[in-house]
Structure 1
Amino acid sequence: MSALTLLDANGTLAAAPLAEAPAFTKPNAPLRSRVAYAAAHVVPKPFADNTPGRPAEIDWDATLAFRHHVWSWGLGVADAMDTAQRNMGLDAAATRELISRSAAEAASVGGAVVVGVNTDHLETEHASLDAIADAYKAQLHHTEDAGAGAVLMASRHLARAAQNADDYRRVYRDVLGAASGPVVLHWLGTAFDPQLSGYFGSADTDAAADVLVELIAEHPDTVSGVKMSLLDADAEIAVRRRLPGTARMYTGDDFHYVSLIAGDDAGHSDALLGAFAALAPNASAAIQALDAGDEAAYHRILGPTEALSRQVFAAPTYFYKTGVAFLAWLNGHQSAFQMVAGLHAARSLPHLSRIVELANASGALEQPQLAAERWHGMLRINGIDPNAATMVAASSDSGSAAHAMEVNA
C-alpha cells in the first residue's frame, strides 16, 4: 500500500497509509429524498495575472468541466456565490460571464443551477437604499434572462446602509416584487463575512430571524427557500420549523450538515453547501442511500466527511475557498493549485496537510495516487522531502497496528 506523507505545525513529518477511493456509483435517476446544490469555485488560468486586485482571468474549460462533474453526480450547482470568490477576487465582469456560461451549460445537460444575485457591481462602498435595490434588480434580471435560478445574497452595501429592520424590509420587498421567478434568500453569518454583522436588522439571531421569516411569509409565490449559513444548527432548526410549506430550508452549515440533512421528526434541511463542491461523489452516494431508505448507510458515507469540512472551514472561515480549490486540484479537476486574487496562499502547509489527512480518511480523494503525487510534489517545492517519513510495524508483543515514525523535516 502506498504511503502518504503528512506535515504538522512543528514541521514534523509522519507517514500514513493511502486509502483506496470508495466505490461510489453515479445515480441513474434524479435524487429524490433531498435537494442538494454544491456551491462551486472558479478555476483561473495558471499563467495569467491573477494577483490581488487584478481582474479575474478564468479558465472557462476547467471551470465549466467542474460543474459538469457536479451535475454528473446528480447534484445541482450553486454558482457565482461566495465559494466562487464573490467579494474576494471575482470581479463584476467575470461574475456576469460566469452566470451566463454556467446557465447555458446547465441547460445543455438538464442540470440544476442557481446563481448569486448581489450588489457588488456598485462602484462605491456606500449607496442609498434605492440604489441598493436597483443594483439587486439589475443582477436579478441578468440572472433571469440567462435562465438560472436566483439566490438573493446578503449585501455588504445593505449591511452598511440599513439603520434598522425596516430598511431591510423595504429593500427586500422592492426586490422580491420585481422577481419573475422563484428566489432563494441567503443569510450569511459573520464567520463567512464579518462585514455582514447585524444583517436583517439585528445582531440578535432570534430578532433577525423574525424579519427573515416575515419576508418569506409575505412572498409565498416568490421565495422558494432560504439558505442559512450561520454555523449554528439550533438556529437553523428553529427557523426551519417556522417556515411556511412553500419554502425549503437549504443548509449552508458546513459544520453540522450531516444531522441537519438527515433531519428529525419535524422535518429536514436540503443542502446548498460549499463543502459539497469538494465532496460531490460522497454527497451523492449518501443521498442515494437516503433514497433507498438506508439512513445507516447515509451516516456511514457522509458522517466521516464532516471532520474534513470543519478543517476546510476552520477560522478564519472566509478562507475556506482555498481548501475547496485545493481538493479540486488533488482530485484532478484543475491542472494547478491556483486561485484568482492569489487566494491559494491563504492557508498554511500544515493546514493543507490536515485536509489531505482527513480527505484520505473520509473517502474524499477520488484518485488517491494522483492526490498523493500532487501533494508530495507540493511538499518538495517547499523544500520538504516526503520520503523522509517512513512506516514502521508495531512490535508483535504490543499487538498494535502499523504506525507512523515521525522525523523532523
Structure 2
Amino acid sequence: MPRLASDKYCTGCLACHDTCRHNAIQVIEKNGMTYVNVDSKNCVECGLCEKACPIVTPVRKNELAQAHVYGGWAKDEQERLDAASGGAFTGLAHSFFHSHKEEKVAVVGANLTNNRVSHIMVEREEDISLLANSKYIQSNTAGIYKDVVNKLKAGYWVMFSGCPCQVAALYGLLGSKRNNERLITVEVVCHGIACQEALDLHLKYYQSPRIYSFRDKRQGTQDWKYSQCTTIEVNGKPCKLSREKDMFYAIYSGWLLDRRSCSNCRYASIERVADITLADFWGLSIPDYYKQGVSLIMTNNDKANDFVKSADDIYVFDEALTTAIGGNPHLFTGYKFIQYHPMVLAPGLMKKLLPDKLRFAILTNRMPHKLFWAVFKVATMLHIKYKRTKLMKRLSKDQRLRHLLTNANTGGG
C-alpha cells in the first residue's frame, strides 16, 4: 500500500487522487474534512501518488534572495471594489490574457456556487469575475490538476491560483515538468481552511439558503478594513452582516473547524512555493485612497517579477518585506497551538458528546468558553512574535536579503 500523508498533515489537496490511473484513490469525508482512501483491490503500487503528494515528496520552494515585495491594486476601480482587498489577482489574470493575445490561455481559481467552493478553469477573459474575491472554506480540487496538465500539453498558457498547498499539489503532479514557461502560479496567504460545516452552521443559524460573498465591499461600507463579514440571503435579499453578528467569522477566526494540517502548515514559510504570493496588505499606513483595498504582491522568482512589472491591469509600488510580515504572520509561520484543543484533537468524539447548542457556543467562541480558547491564542501569538524576531535577525544579517528590509526593490514597478 502507498505511503501518503497522515491525517495530521494531509491538506486535502487531492493530488494523489488526480495522479492515480487505476481509480484506486477515493475521496472521502471525515469530520467534515476531505481526505482520501486507498482501495487495495485497485492499487497496483505504482508509487505515482507518493510522488505527487507534496507532504510525502516535498516540493522545492523559491529562494528568498529572488523575492520582491510590492503593494498594489487593480487599475479598474470596479474590479478593485468587487475584490476582497486590492483586486491584484483579477488584475493579474486580465494582464495574463493581455500578454498572450492570439494564444490559448486558461486561468484557474476558486469559484463559489450554491454554497460550495471548487476550483474551475476559465478560458475567456470575461469569465475572470467567476474567480474573484476570497473564499474561506475548503475548495474541491478533484480533477483540476489533470486539467492543467492537459492544457499545458496542448500548448496553453496557464495561470493557476490557490492556497499554497494546492500550488504544491500541482507541482507534485508535474514533477520535473513544473518549470514549464507557460505556467505561472499564484498563491494566497492562507490563515487556515475551515471545513464546509463552518458555512453550513452559519447559514443554519440565520435560516439563510445562500451565501453571496465571504467579503463584500459593495454592500454598505466600502472601506476595505471593514469588509471581513459575509453577505447572505435573508428574506430573499442580500444582507451584509456586521462582524459582531457574523457567526461564520466567529467560527473561522477561532480555528476550531480548521484542518489539523493548517496548524502545521509546511508552506507558511518566508520561502514561498508559488511564483507569486498575494494577500491583504495589512500593516500599511492607510490614506483615504488605500481604504478601497491594497494587495500585498510578492514575486518569488525572476519570471514572476518580470510578469508583475509588465502587467498592464494592475498598479504596483515598492514596499518592504518588514512591513508585510508585520501585518501578515502567515507569511512566515503557520504553527498554531489550537491543534491541541479537544475540539481539534477529537472532533468526532466531541460532536457526539456535546449537545448541539453547547458545541455551537464553543465553536463561535462565546464566553466563558473563550477564556479556555485564549490560552491557545496567546501561546500562538507568542510563537509568532518569536518567529518574527528570528526572521528579522536573519534578514539583517544576510547581505543577499537586505534589499527586502526597505521599499527600494531592484527594478520596482
TM-score normalised by the shorter chain: which range applies?
under 0.3
Q: What's the TM-score, normalizing by structure 1?
A: 0.24
Q: What's the TM-score, normalizing by structure 2?
A: 0.24
